[in-house]
Amino acid sequence: MIRWLVGAIGFCVVASHALAAEPMEIGIGYLGQAVVKSKLSLVEQPAENDGVAGARLAIEDNNTTGKFLNQHFTLEEVRLKQGEDVAKAAMALAGRNGFIIADLAADALLQAADALRDRGTVLLNAGSIDDRLREQDCRANVVHVAPTRSMLADAVAQYLVWKQWKRWLLVVGSHDQDKLYADALRRAATRFGAKIVQERTFEDTGGARRTDSGVTLIQRQMPVFTQQAPAYDILVAADESEVFANYLPYRTWDPRPVAGSAGLVPTSWDASQDQWGAIQMQNRFLKLNSRRMTATDMQAWTAARMIGEATSRTNSGDPKTVFDFLKGPDFSVAAFKGTRLTLRDWNLQLRQPILLVDGRMVVSVSPQEGFLHQVSELDTLGVDRPETKCKLH
Amino acid sequence: MWRRCLVSGTALWLAAAGPASAFVAYVSNEKGNTVSVIDTDKWAVTATIKVGQRPRGIEFTRDGKFVMVAVGDDDTIQMIDAANQQVVDTLPSGPDPELFTQDAAGKVLYVANENDNTVTVIDLEKRARLGDIQVGVEPEGMAISPDGKILVNTSETTNMAHFIDTTTRQIVANVLVDARPRFAEFKRDGSELWISSEIGGNVSIIDPAKHVVTGKISFEIPGLRREAIQPVGIGMTKDGKTAFIALGPANRIAVVDGTSHTVTKYLLVGQRVWHMAFTPDEKYLLVTNGVSNDVSVIDVGALKVIKTIQVGELPWGITIAPQ
């Protein structure tokens, strides 16, 4: 009997060793769109692997850590072609992965979220900045890593107010998301005490982004478009569609700076960000992907790192355990922004400082000094708890 | 020969003539690409030495003859001759060195290379590279156990303290701590290892024998947001009774009871306080204030800030000559 017991214990020890040798596998899916948005500036044209390249770096980082914890991370990428069923693709991906990083437009993201509602898969939104996803259309199974449009607008507004550039000439594009950005900028102006002295709409009449004689024509159009404006300090452009904003700097009728979609731009990340240890991460990214890191890359990196952070803290790859930790009071993640990033528990939006960049340098980082908040100064950016329309269930 | 005799003779005479409390501190100025030399008798900068790009980690060799300074953007460690205050040599550190530590004999140097996820081992006498140890993402904090058997390295994105056997150069244990661990310090009796987590906002106390976190020190300062409290440098008195922790943008040094681990006082210093060094007699503690470009002097007995010394641009590390 005793011999049997000793043998059994011995077997158990051996078995647990064998188990320990087998790493815990943590699968992360990446769901993005195949179509890459076109930009006005050639140097800003996104790479085909925009976003997923950041997730790949985070998988490497997670695996370096995982080596010591016996955890192993994999990434499975799916790109949706035009018209492809997002719900079906999400379901297939969820069959093999407990976590999905999504770089999708708002409607597609909602379809994926609703299809996965009863599966226990955790969706991390790394692409869409639409406020409605965190407000009236919020979902209990979606964590938002990308900042909201209102966070971006508030970030630039705080700086302009701090700089005493309080009189804005607002120029809005004719597409829906341009109008949403303009809404966010108007809200920001009201919140922080700026004045929109006039609004103009820039109609998208179509046409190519790149032509051989492009500059000559633009140089005539833009001064004319901006003339006879009331006295203003700065032109604020809302042009997410990339139709005109980058044509404005140096071409306004009055010599005024530009902010918003061109000039001083609010963003979650920039290739020039080198504070708070970011240089190491920029170097790692460059080495792995042979190009510079964009905001979408950073959002995907942060999403995958949040999963890695939670799996290392909980010593578990189970999506429910990980999700509970992410939503709990002990979660925070370091992402080279000088402060810990945490989740807003009312809508699962990641709190984060926003960089203000001019295309070459980080000009400033919001929240700006003096914008105070009773909970976290990061909550001076975007829609705060008392104003939220989100009900998570 | 004669010259050497004369120089050392003069040095001896100077040492004998000066008051007993005069020490020399070297401060690395991260943005200025300089090292400021402070005389602790005059409490003033007596020399400014031009060094390489982005000097941060700085330490005297055990014999007090050289000051080693990690110049990260030049991918090397420069050796400053303490006698003539000039850069005389470099060490093969690997890319982007930041912090380093040496063994008790001053023969082996261990360097954290942030870009490479490695710790580089250097023979200080031959000034040659002995090997590399693979660690977590962004290695930073470095400390050697008082018995010299264990090297501890912290990795900032992996959030761990790696315990490395100094003989085999193999990792023997990994301990998870809070976000962005930046600095490691052993108690002199080897009973505790303290690790500061900059983004986590606390200090983990680890039992170095059992490799477990036995406690955490957290900080609360009225009127300050939790996010502003970012612990970095740690200094402990030789008797292990009092510890000082630099709280970064909280602009304060926390005084901590070494036994009970409770915070007993917060000392207001300059902006974004980074690192610190005691004078060998432990009467004074000098701390570097990154944003206000100065060094605060703390009277260790009275627990008071008694002096502020202007140094170069963005001071980061500090080392004081051994006696």
* Confidence check: pLDDT of A12 > 50: no
Q: Which residues are B59's β-sheet partners?
A: B68
User: How many Å apart are CA B139 and CA B154, to the nearest integer?
Assistant: 6
User: Which residues in chain B are contacts of A64 at CB distance < 8 A?
Assistant: 117, 136-137, 158
Q: Alpha carbon A215 to chain centroid distance?
A: 32
* CB contact at 8 A, B313 and B51: no
User: How many Å apart are CA A160 and CA B320, to the nearest integer?
Assistant: 45
* CB contact at 8 A, A49 and A277: no
Name residue A19's amino acid: L
Collect all residues with Cβ–Cβ distance below 8 Å to A355 and sequence separation of at least 6. A266, A267, A268, A269, A270, A273, A337, A362, A364, A365
Q: How confident is the model at residue B15 (pLDDT cuts 50, 70, 90)?
A: very low
Q: Is A248 exposed, middle or buried (0-12, 13-18, 19+ CB in 10 A)?
A: buried
Closest CA to B279 of B16, B1, B40: B40
* Owner of token pair 């790692």: A284
3-state secondary structure of A220: helix
Lowest mean pLDDT among A46-60, A202-216, A323-337, B151-165: A202-216
- Nearest-Å Rg of the Cα atoms of chain B is 19
* Rounded to 5°, angle at Cα B318 from B62 and B207: 75
End-to-end CA distance of chain B: 25
Q: How confident is the model at residue A206 (pLDDT cuts 50, 70, 90)?
A: confident
| Token pair in block for residue A285 | 């990214």
* Owner of token pair 């404005």: A248
The string of DSSP letters for B72-88 reads GGGTEEEEEETTTTEEE
Distance from CA of A339 to the nearest CA of B (A): 6
pLDDT at A22: 84
| Token pair in block for residue A260 | 């918003």
* CB contact at 8 A, A64 and A111: no
User: How many Å apart are CA A214 and CA A221, to the nearest integer?
Assistant: 11
pLDDT at B1: 44
| Token pair in block for residue A170 | 């607002």
Residues of B with CB under 8 A from a CB of A: 96, 114-115, 117, 136-138, 155-160, 162, 171, 174, 176, 179-180, 198-201, 225, 227
pLDDT at B6: 47
Mean pLDDT, to the nearest integer, of A120-129?
97
Q: Which helix (H) or strand (E) holds B112?
A: strand B108-113
Sign of CA dihedral A199, A205, A207, A213: negative
- Cβ contact, residue pair A65, B160, below 8 Å: yes
User: How many Å apart are CA B207 and CA B191, to the nearest integer?
Assistant: 7
Structure confidence by residue, pLDDT tens digits, A340-380: 999 999 999 999 999 999 999 999 999 999 898 888 899 99
Structure confidence by residue, pLDDT tens digits, A249-293: 999 999 999 999 999 999 999 999 999 989 989 999 999 999 999
User: How many Å apart are CA A77 and CA A152, to the nearest integer?
Assistant: 28
Structure confidence by residue, pLDDT tens digits, A68-81: 999 999 999 999 99
Q: Which residue of B has its CA nearest to A287?
A: B115
pLDDT at B227: 84
* CB contact at 8 A, A376 and A148: no
User: How many Å apart are CA A45 and CA A259, to the nearest integer?
Assistant: 20
* Rounded to 5°, angle at Cα A351 from A348 and A354: 140
Mean pLDDT, to the nearest integer, of B162-191?
96
User: How many Å apart are CA B290 and CA A389, to the nearest integer?
Assistant: 42
Give the whole-number percent of chain A exceeding pLDDT 70. Answer: 94
- CA within 13 Å, CB half, A351: 25
* Most B-contacting residue of A62, A64, A286, A371 (CB-CB within 10 A), to test interface: A64
User: Which residues in chain A are contacts of B200 at CB distance < 8 A?
Assistant: 332, 340
Q: Alpha carbon A378 to chain centroid distance?
A: 15
* Confidence check: pLDDT of B71 > 90: yes
Give the whole-number percent of chain B exceeding pLDDT 70. Answer: 93
DSSP B95: S
E-assigned strand segments in B135-191 = 139-144, 150-155, 160-165, 171-176, 181-186
* Confidence check: pLDDT of B19 > 60: no
Closest CA to A218 of A177, A182, A181, A249: A249
Give me the phi and psi of A255, to 5 degrees please: -75, 90
* CB contact at 8 A, A122 and A98: yes
User: How many Å apart are CA A142 and CA A101, to the nearest integer?
Assistant: 10
CB burial readout B152-175, b (16+ within 10 A) else e: bbbbbbbbbbbbbebeeeebebbb
Closest CA to A91 of A75, A114, A73, A124: A114
A281, A283, A339 member nearest B227 (Cβ)? A339
Q: Which helix (H) or strand (E) holds A286?
A: helix A278-289
User: How many Å apart are CA A226 and CA A380, to the nearest integer?
Assistant: 32
Q: What is the mean pLDDT of chain A?
A: 92
The string of DSSP letters for A34-47 reads SPPPP-SSGGGPPP
User: How many Å apart are CA A333 and CA A307, to the nearest integer?
Assistant: 10
Name residue A210's amino acid: R
User: Which residues in chain A are contacts of B117 at CB distance < 8 A?
Assistant: 64
Closest CA to A90 of A105, A108, A73: A108
User: Which residues in chain A are contacts of B156 at CB distance < 8 A?
Assistant: 277, 334
The string of DSSP letters for B266-278 reads EEE-SSSEEEEEE
* Most B-contacting residue of A63, A68, A305, A331 (CB-CB within 10 A), to test interface: A68
Collect all residues with Cβ–Cβ distance below 8 Å to A318 and sequence separation of at least 6. A98
Q: How confident is the model at residue B21 (pLDDT cuts 50, 70, 90)?
A: low
* Owner of token pair 């942030």: B114
B159, B179, B225 member nearest A377 (Cβ)? B225
Q: Which residues are B207's β-sheet partners?
A: B212
pLDDT at A20: 56
- Cβ contact, residue pair B157, A378, below 8 Å: no
3-state secondary structure of B123: strand
Q: Would you tell me how many other CB atoms lie within 10 Å of the CB of residue B21?
A: 12
Distance from CA of A277 to the nearest CA of B (A): 9
3-state secondary structure of A111: helix
Structure confidence by residue, pLDDT tens digits, B25-37: 999 999 999 999 9
Structure confidence by residue, pLDDT tens digits, A184-204: 999 999 999 999 999 999 999
3-state secondary structure of A319: helix
Q: Which domains does chain A show, CATH number per domain?
A: 20-147+272-352 (3.40.50.2300), 150-267 (3.40.50.2300)
End-to-end CA distance of chain A: 54
Residue A378 contacts B, CB cutoff 8 Å = yes
Q: Which pTM was predicted? A: 0.86
User: Which residues in chain A are contacts of B198 at CB distance < 8 A?
Assistant: 334
DSSP A73: E
Note the ipTM here: 0.78
3-state secondary structure of A245: helix
Structure confidence by residue, pLDDT tens digits, B283-299: 999 999 999 999 999 99
User: How many Å apart are CA B136 and CA B127, to the nearest integer?
Assistant: 26
* CB contact at 8 A, A289 and A202: no
